[in-house]
Amino acid sequence: MFCPKCGNQMDEGSKFCPKCGNQMGSAQTVAVDDSSGLGILIPRNTLALWAYYLGIFSLLCGITAIPALITGILGLRYAKQHPEARGAIHAWVGIIIGGIALLLFLFILIISILHG
């Protein structure tokens, strides 16, 4: 017979493994922590949400267009890596609105400079 713990070959009917000291006959039930499939938290794409809100806010205040674009790109990348997180639409909205707001902001800035 072989020791179930260490695999050492030992005499039939031995009560203890001479190698590792494992007691024979005792239930060798290993408590397996089977947490797989339970309590998996779906990661939320917070970056995409940030992009969305910053994008909308950038229409009022142009300065948030830059972080909207950054978080939008990062959120889009996150959505690709974690399809369960979703948020790709929010990220795109952030990028598009952020992009438009940035162009408007730059346009207004250039005009104001030209008009000095």
Q: Which residues bind Zn ion (CB under 5 A)?
A: 3, 5-6, 8, 17, 19-20, 22
Q: Which is nearer to Zn ion, 20 or 110 (CB)?
A: 20
CB of 8 to Zn ion, least distance (A): 4
Q: Which is nearer to Zn ion, 24 or 70 (CB)?
A: 24
| Exposure string for 47-65, b = 16+ CB within 10 A, e = fewer | bbbbbbbbbbbbbeebebb
| Residues 97 and 56: beta-carbon distance below 8 Å | yes
CB of 31 to Zn ion, least distance (A): 19
